[in-house]
Amino acid sequence: MARRITTATVTLDLAALLVAQVVASWATFRTPLPWSFRRDSMTMVAALTIGGLVGVYVSRRSAANGVFRPSYGRAVSSVAVALGLTAVVILFGRPYWSRNYIAVAAATWLGLSLAHRWVQRRRPWAESMVLVTTQKVLIDHLKGSPHANVLEVLDPSGTMPERPLPPGTTLAVDLRAVLSDQMARFVSSCNLAGYPMESLINAYEKHTGRLAIVHLYEGWELTVPLSGHIPYVRLKRVIDTFLVLLMAPLALLLGGLFALAIRLDSSGPVIFRQFRIGLEGRPFTLYKFRTMRPGDTEPRFARRDDDRLTRVGRLLRRIRLDELPQLWNVLKGDLALVGPRPEQGPFVDRFSETIPFYTHRHLVRPGLTGWAQVNFGYADSEADTVEKLSYDLYYVKHLSPWLDLEILGRSVWTVLSGFGAR
């Protein structure tokens, strides 16, 4: 079912791109084939087509780590990538181009892409699963996942079911559990019968976007896959620097306006400095726009209606732009654009003692936004910190450019919706 949904979405996106170009050609040139009206329009059409193919590919790959779902955000990102590549070709190649053609094609493609996703999402799919485990927390998380239909949970030390599994059911087996003779024969029989089979951990990661911390042994399960991403880790630093420099003019303009508003709203410094723990546990100074009244420096979790916030500070936190000065941290190498959010030193000392594998989130450079931020939001207790850690460690294990693109895309919605803001 998942493969069918993926194939249908990609096929419909490409069909929508073709239809959009025909509509744009008719609206601009009164012909379905623009080169029959202007021979020199071929470069523009080719650029938009190739850009669309790249956009669809990037959109598809950004969901490669989890369960694919027709996403409105990925439709927007596909169109944005296509327009970006088309703009680059026009800027450097100087071919003929039509503003009306490109605008109509982009608008039509986006409209059709959103429409077919709306239809697909009205018929949600789920993977039918039978779990062989006693891990209640993992069971509950999988039952709460929208695309995991848990039909039954079997005790690894119990007896086999009386009837075969329904056709197409996935058997997810807890590899830490000791199977009884009957259960071992049942699992083997399901494998011989051709039922889809996978480890409970793989099914859990795929459907929840989290790492099952209880199944970690000494942490090498994270360092081994991370070592395979070293080339991207180095390239990621270059990409982050380039993107920050690209955003610098707008960031400086907004930063100046916010600095003036903070100065007029309350007394005290415009920039707030705080020591955080970064890559490999090294401390660094984090910069933010000051959002609280000066004087209260005790490290504690922020609350939704924190009485320490100023009027401007409350607004900046809601739209997440109090973190704009952290672009300087990215240039310095303290932060990446994407990674686990850095925590205060006292909290790190405390959680390192009480939460297993907490320090493993420092294996990668911390970021302005992260997988935990777009999935969980703000943690205001130690229990929430454990939940967020399962997302952070998932990011460490599955670090890739595609996952980073997924996080950046979802961060836009996080900012617009105010999800998790404190």
* pLDDT digits (tens), the chain, 422 positions: 667 788 888 899 999 999 999 999 999 988 888 777 777 888 899 999 999 999 888 877 776 566 777 778 788 888 988 999 999 999 888 888 899 999 999 999 999 999 999 988 877 778 899 999 999 999 999 999 988 999 999 999 999 888 889 998 999 999 989 999 999 999 999 999 999 999 999 999 999 999 998 888 878 888 888 888 889 999 999 999 999 999 999 999 999 999 999 988 888 899 999 999 999 999 999 999 998 887 655 656 555 566 678 888 888 888 888 899 999 999 999 999 999 999 999 999 999 999 999 999 999 999 999 999 888 877 778 888 999 999 999 999 999 988 898 888 888 776 766 555 55
What is each CA distance from 33 to 28, 124, 125, 235, 294, in whole angstroms? 11, 37, 38, 41, 65
CB atoms within 10 A of CB 192: 8
pLDDT for position 390: 94
d(C-alpha 405, C-alpha 74), whole Å: 10
**List of E strands, 232-366:** 271-277, 283-289, 336-338, 343-344
d(C-alpha 374, C-alpha 62), whole Å: 14
Sort strands 336-338 and 343-344 into parallel, antiparallel or unpaired.
unpaired
Q: Tens digit of pLDDT for each residue in 358-416?
A: 999 999 999 999 999 888 877 778 888 999 999 999 999 999 988 898 888 888 776 76
pLDDT for position 274: 92
CB atoms within 10 A of CB 129: 24
pLDDT for position 296: 56
What value, to the nearest 5°, has the Cα angle with vertex 337 and ends 86 and 377?
Answer: 115
- φ, ψ at 151 (rounded to 5°): -80, -35
Instruction: Find all residues with CB under 8 Å of 39, minimum gap 6, and list them.
Output: none
Look at residue 37 and give its three-state secondary structure: coil
d(C-alpha 217, C-alpha 202), whole Å: 16
Domain ranges of the chain: 2-121, 127-208, 227-417
pLDDT for position 40: 81
0.85 exceeded by the pTM? Answer: no
Sequence-ordered alpha helix ranges (H) in 37-180: 42-61, 72-93, 99-121, 136-143
Percentage helix, strand, coil, to 5, in the chain? 60, 10, 30
- Is residue 382 within 8 A of residue 351, CB to CB? The reply is yes
Count of H-run helices and E-run strands, the chain: 15, 9
- Is residue 375 within 8 A of residue 413, CB to CB? The reply is no
Instruction: Find all residues with CB under 8 Å of 295, minimum gap 6, and list them.
Output: none
